Amino acid sequence: MMQQIYPVTEHPYAYELNKDFQFAAAHYIPHADAGKCQNMHGHTYFTNVTIAGDDLDHTGFLVNFKRIKDLIHKRFDHRMMNEDTKFSDQDAEYFPTTEVVARTIYEIIQEYLNNLPNKPTCVQVYLRETPTSYCIYRPKEKTL
């Protein structure tokens, strides 16, 4: 799955950086209508994060590739996602579905990027949960 070509998103920026990484995590979807997904199970998630901007930092980076991976991998790898404070069993907007996990990855990364002087922006998160299922999250406007 690594090194595949991902769907592109239009943006006005000069630089576009893409980081691929994977993490293994457990989850369950806490609703009767989720069928077998109500039971705790695990996935190896494949992630592609797209970051864009016009200005490089003092190292010539838009943002350090390693920092992007670490923000997500250190938090979720070999963890139970339902136990993370970003998720909740009480509100479907915060169940750890593919959609919500993709949005959450965007939120964690964009909060970090907002503190960088060169102000890069995350324009797309591609999250593959299984060989046949993936979600793309693209922020509609600057919400963070």
Ligand X SMILES: Nc1nc2c(c(=O)[nH]1)N=C([C@H](O)[C@H](O)COP(=O)(O)OP(=O)(O)OP(=O)(O)O)CN2
43 in a known ligand binding site:
yes
Q: Which residue's structure tokens are 């909740």?
A: 88
Pick one of 78, 83, 130, 144: the residue that binds ligand X (CB under 6 A).
130
Closest CA to 125 of 142, 111, 110, 141: 110
What character string, x for contact with ligand X (CB under 6 A) and - otherwise, covers 1-30?
----------------------------x-
Catalytically annotated residue among 78, 83, 93, 111 = 78
Region 98-127 residues binding ligand X, contact defined as CB under 6 A? 98-99
CA dist 116 to 56, 63, 121, 124, Å?
A: 10, 9, 10, 18
- Count of C-beta atoms within a 10 Å radius of residue 64: 14
Spatial distance between the Cα atoms of 44 and 76, rounded to a whole number of angstroms: 11
Catalytic residue among 11, 16, 37, 135: 37
Q: Supply the residues annotated as catalytic.
A: 37, 78, 129
Which residues are near ligand X by CB under 6 A?
Answer: 29, 37, 97-99, 129-130, 132-133
